[in-house]
C-alpha cells in the first residue's frame, strides 16, 4: 500500500496525460510543416481541397522542376544571396563575439571585484530591453554616420544580442574548468603560452564550440535588427522571407523559401545537439 503510493508519487515513466501531451506538442511543432511541404510541390492547390488538385509530377512536361523550387533556386528569388549574407554575417559576428567575450568570461568566472553584480546586470541588459527600441534608436545614428545598410553596421548591431548569450555560456565553461590544472602546469614549469596552448584551450574547446554555435544560431535568426538597419540593401534569410509573406498570404514559392530558411536551422540542430549539453545551457540560464 505505502509502496504503491510511493511509486505513484515518484514515477519515472510517463503518465497517460504526458504521453498525449508529448504527441500534441510534437504535432503543434512539426505538424504545420506538412502542408508547407505539400504546397511547395503542388501545381494547383485550390480551396477547399485537402490535397493539391494537380501535383507537379503530373505536369512535369511543362516545367522540369516543381514551380516553387524552380523559382527558389533561380537568381530572381535572391535566395542564394540571402543565404551567403546570413552565413557570412553569422560567421564574422561569431568570431568577433568570441574574441571579445573570452577574456571577460574568464574574469567573471574567477575573480571577485567591486561592482561585479552590476556589471553582470549590465551585460544581460540587451536581453531585456526590447529590440525595437535598440533598432530604431541605432538606425538614427547609423544613418547619420553612414553605417546603415552596410555589412559593418549589421555585424556591429548583431553583437548586441549575441554578447549576453556568449558571456553566459563561456562563464559557465570557465567555472567548470577550475584553476587547478593551470596551476599544476605552472608548478611543473610550463610557460604562460604553453599553459594556454596545452592546458587551457583544449579543456575550453568544447565549451567554446558550443558558445560559438549558439552565437551563430542567434545571429542567423535575427530579423528586426537586420531589417531596420539593413535598409533593404542587405538581405538575410529571415528578412527575405519577411518580404515574401508580409502581405499575409503564402504562395508556392513562399512555401519553398520558408523551407529553405528552415534548412540551416535543421543542420545547426543536428550539430548543436551533439555539442551543447543541456546542463551547460542550464548553467548559463538557470539563474
Partner 1 sequence: MWIQLMPVLVVLSVLFGGALVLGVMQSLGFAPWFGVNTFPDFQYFGALWGDWFFWQSLGLTLYYALVSTFLSLVMGVLLALALVRYFPGKTFYKYLYKLPLMIPYTVGIALAVIMMGNSGMISRLMAFVGLIDDPSQFPQILKTHYGWGIIAVYVWKQTPFVALTVYAVLLGVGRETEEAAAILGANKWQIFFQVTFPQILPGIVSSTLIIFAFNIGAFEAPFILGGGFPDTLPVVAWRYFNDADYTLQLQGMATVVSIALIAGVILYSYLSFYRRYERRIGRH
Distance from C-alpha of 41 to C-alpha of 120, rounded to nearest angstrom: 50
Stretch that binds partner 1, among 4-12, 56-64, 70-78, 190-198 (CB under 8 A): 4-12
One character per residue 178-207, x = contact with partner 1 (rule: CB under 8 A): ------------------------------
- Member of 227, 230, 235, 253 binding partner 1 (CB under 8 A): 227
One character per residue 63-92, x = contact with partner 1 (rule: CB under 8 A): ------------------------------
Minimum separation from the CB atom of position 230 to partner 1 (A) = 14
Residues 25/12, Cβ–Cβ less than 8 Å? no
Residue 189 vs 247, nearer CB to partner 1: 247
My answer on whether omega of the bond before 48 falls inside 30° of 0, hence cis, is: yes
Minimum separation from the CB atom of position 46 to partner 1 (A) = 9
Asked if 109 interacts with partner 1 (CB under 8 A), we say no
Minimum separation from the CB atom of position 55 to partner 1 (A) = 17
Q: Residue 216 has what DSSP assignment?
A: H
Q: Which residues of 102-123 are buried (b: 16+ CB within 10 A; e: fewer)?
A: bebbbebbeeeeeeeeeeeeeb
- How far are the Cα atoms of 9, 16, 47, 56, 214 from residue 6, in angstroms, in the given order? 5, 18, 55, 58, 41
Residues 34/219, Cβ–Cβ less than 8 Å? no
Residue 76 vs 113, nearer CB to partner 1: 113
- Member of 106, 186, 196, 206 binding partner 1 (CB under 8 A): 106
Distance from C-alpha of 178 to C-alpha of 51, rounded to nearest angstrom: 59
Asked if 117 interacts with partner 1 (CB under 8 A), we say no
- Member of 82, 89, 138, 173 binding partner 1 (CB under 8 A): 138
Judged by CB under 8 A, the chain residues 248 through 267 that form the site for partner 1 are 248-250, 254-255, 258, 261-262, 265-266
Residues 260/78, Cβ–Cβ less than 8 Å? no
Distance from C-alpha of 151 to C-alpha of 235, rounded to nearest angstrom: 10
126 membership: H or E segment, kind and range: helix 116-128
Residue 88 vs 281, nearer CB to partner 1: 281
Residues in the chain: 287
Residues 258/242, Cβ–Cβ less than 8 Å? no
- The count of chain residues that interact with partner 1, using the rule CB under 8 A, is 102
Stretch that binds partner 1, among 53-61, 64-72, 178-186, 273-281 (CB under 8 A): 273-281
- Member of 1, 16, 29, 232 binding partner 1 (CB under 8 A): 29
Q: Residue 192 CB: number of other CB atoms within 10 A?
A: 11
Judged by CB under 8 A, the chain residues 142 through 181 that form the site for partner 1 are 144, 156-157, 159-160, 163, 167
Amino acid at each position: 500500500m505505502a509502496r504503491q503510493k510511493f511509486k505513484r508519487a515518484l514515477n519515472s515513466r510517463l503518465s497517460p496525460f504526458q504521453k498525449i501531451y508529448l504527441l500534441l506538442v510534437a504535432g503543434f511543432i512539426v505538424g504545420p510543416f506538412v502542408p508547407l511541404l505539400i504546397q511547395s510541390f503542388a501545381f494547383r492547390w485550390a480551396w477547399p481541397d485537402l490535397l493539391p488538385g494537380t501535383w507537379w509530377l503530373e505536369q512535369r512536361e511543362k516545367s522540369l522542376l516543381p514551380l516553387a523550387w524552380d523559382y527558389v533556386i533561380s537568381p530572381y528569388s535572391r535566395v542564394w544571396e540571402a543565404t551567403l549574407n546570413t552565413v557570412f554575417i553569422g560567421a564574422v559576428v561569431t568570431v568577433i563575439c568570441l574574441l571579445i567575450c573570452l577574456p571577460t568570461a574568464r574574469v567573471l568566472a574567477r575573480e571577485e571585484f567591486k561592482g561585479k553584480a552590476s556589471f553582470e546586470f549590465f551585460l544581460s541588459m540587451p536581453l531585456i530591453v526590447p529590440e525595437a527600441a535598440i533598432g530604431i534608436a541605432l538606425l538614427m545614428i547609423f544613418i547619420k554616420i553612414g553605417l546603415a545598410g552596410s555589412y559593418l553596421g549589421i555585424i556591429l548591431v548583431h553583437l548586441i544580442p549575441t554578447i549576453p548569450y556568449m558571456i553566459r555560456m563561456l562563464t559557465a565553461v570557465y567555472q567548470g574548468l577550475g584553476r587547478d590544472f593551470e596551476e599544476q602546469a605552472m608548478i611543473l614549469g610550463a610557460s604562460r603560452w604553453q599553459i594556454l596552448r596545452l592546458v587551457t584551450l583544449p579543456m575550453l574547446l568544447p565549451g567554446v564550440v558550443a558558445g560559438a554555435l549558439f552565437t551563430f544560431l542567434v545571429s542567423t535568426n535575427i530579423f528586426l535588427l537586420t531589417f531596420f538597419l539593413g535598409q533593404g540593401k542587405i538581405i538575410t534569410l529571415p528578412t527575405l522571407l519577411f518580404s515574401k509573406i508580409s502581405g499575409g498570404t503564402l504562395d508556392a514559392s513562399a512555401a519553398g523559401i520558408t523551407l529553405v530558411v528552415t534548412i540551416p536551422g535543421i543542420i545547426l540542430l543536428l550539430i548543436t545537439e551533439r555539442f551543447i549539453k543541456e546542463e551547460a545551457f542550464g548553467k548559463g540560464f538557470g539563474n
